[in-house]
Structure 1
Amino acid sequence: MSRQTRLEVLLLIREQQEKSPHGWALSTEFQPAPQRSVVTAAGQGLIELADRETRAELSAYEGRPVRWAARLSAQGHDVLTYLQASPAPAPRSAAPVADEQVVELRPSQMDALRVYTTLAPTLRVPPADGLAERVRNAYFDRPNNRWRLALTAPQMDTVAYAFYLRAITGSVAEANRFAREYGVTYRVDPTSGRHEVVRLHSPKAHR
């Protein structure tokens, strides 16, 4: 079964579950071909098939024989949740708008940034609006081993903050590289003791 077919079956099962008063998708609602795909997905642990006792209860409820019934397993549910949270990467040809800048991040920098955006609900200094979506949609330039994404100035500031957190808890390389290449860093003002974003120089140009 192809990946696309597997996802289509999971979506179909979820749709039938949501319509059903008992939370099961029934055999009577599927054509033979999708039924075979359901069985295959069940073999992969993504769908749970009802046992004999449950089928008997469903048959009594429906007033007709139920040969099989299915519902998403915990893993099947999570696959669809992950699918919806993972839009397709932006195409390489996508150009930044007037107030955006194209940024290229090394894999270690992208890893640190992903941790930061994932923690957004629990942070006191959350990411700028739209940053999490930009991170999800980033394009991986495989030949150059860089993640490319277009960012606004406020998003650049919170990227610098993410790398500041990384520097305090582990590696300073990500913050130093971002400051060197894009002229943005986050630090403590030694005179006031306040945290601030500092722009060191004009960022380098990218194609």
Structure 2
Amino acid sequence: MGLSGGRIALLQRIADTGHEPDGWAGPGSGLDARSTGPLVRAGLVREASAAERAGLAARTGRPVPWAVRLTHDGRDVLLYARRRAAPPVGAPPEPGLQKVALHRCDLDVLERFVALDGELHDGPAKDLGLAVEAARFHPQSNRWIMYVDGAQMRSMARAFYLERHSGSAAPANRFTRVYGVNHQPRPLGLVPRVERDPAG
């Protein structure tokens, strides 16, 4: 189970108030062993040992009965949570690119598609993988935002075509309904009877 927003906020408070030497945050920061216990058990926060508390007391000139600081995992979780909650940022899209908003499951289809680059007979369009990698989550719409050109749009439609025939038709249906792009395989020509039935 992931951390609640309240526990992420607690990690942030420890990071913000860890002004003691080496980033330790003590009771004076509005923290206590009970509130930080779940983070300690998760390995995201570490309590100071008796020797470390004695060293802190010697350096600060006051008793330090208890203190905590973020572990490396705690810092990484906090950085990741900040990035996850942040609105998409980056350079404006280049002229001629179209904004596409996708469900997470649609982006999953595209990630599988670009992972097969070099193996498929009709693989991803140029730089589609980069566009997929650059997709950013937009919390207000609950969609993943991409910017693609016409060739990449058609390539995305092919990815959803492959998904239709091997998994779910929903991504292809959504893409066609919203953007009007649908992959239509070229029909095979009629095979002459002499080729179909040489013995006939």
Report the TM range for the smaller structure's normalisation: 0.5 to 0.7
1: CA distance, partners of 2:86 / 2:41? 28
Contact 1:99–1:152 (CA<8 Å) still a contact in 2?
Answer: yes
Deviation at 1:13, TM superposition (A): 0.8
Q: 1:20 to 1:115 in 2, by over 3 A?
A: farther
2:181 aligns with 203
Instruction: Indicate the SS of the match to 1:40.
Output: helix
Please list, as runs of the form range in 1=range in 2, the aligned pairs for 1:87-166 lying within 5 A after superposition: 87=85, 99-103=98-102, 106=106, 108-112=108-112, 127-128=130-131, 132-134=134-136, 136-137=137-138, 148-154=143-149, 157=152, 160=155
Counterpart residue type for residue 17 of structure 2? Q
Residue 25 (str. 1) matches residue 25 (str. 2): yes
TM-score, L = length of structure 1: 0.52
SS at match of 1:71: strand
Aligned-pair identity in percent equals: 26
Stretches of structure 1 that go unaligned for 5 or more consecutive residues are 91-97, 117-124, 141-147, 184-201
Contact 1:127 1:155 in 2 (8 A): no
Structure 2 stretches of 5 or more lacking a match? 89-96, 117-126, 183-200
Q: Kindly state the Cα deviation for residue 77 of structure 1 after the two structures are TM-superposed.
A: 1.6
Superposed displacement of residue 82, structure 1: 1.6
Q: Which residue of 2 aligns with 1:47?
A: 45
Residues 135 and 145 in structure 2, CA contact (< 8 A), matched pair in contact too = no
Structure 2: distance between partners of 1:88 and 1:113: 27
Alignment-mate amino acid for residue 23 of structure 1: G
C-alpha deviations, 1:126-154, integer Å up to 9, x for none? 724x96243x33867xxxxxxx5444334
Flag the structure with higher strand content. Answer: 1
Over the aligned positions, Cα root-mean-square deviation in angstroms equals 4.6
Which residue of structure 2 aligns with residue 173 of structure 1?
162
Residue pair 2:107, 2:144 contacting (<8 A) in 1 also: no
How far apart in 1 are the matches of 2:38 and 2:52?
A: 20
TM-score for both structures, normalised by structure 2: 0.53
Distance 1:10 1:103, change over 3 A: closer
Q: Give per-residue Cα distances to partners, 1:44-95, cap 9 Å, x unaligned.
A: 32210010001000000010100011111222122212201213799xxxxx
The change in CA–CA distance for 1:149 and 1:56 in structure 2 (over 3 A counts) is closer
Runs (4 or more) in structure 1 with deviation over 6 Å come to 113-116, 176-183
Q: Which has the larger radius of gyration?
A: 2
Aligned length: 152
- Please state whether the residue corresponding to 2:85 is helix, strand or coil: coil
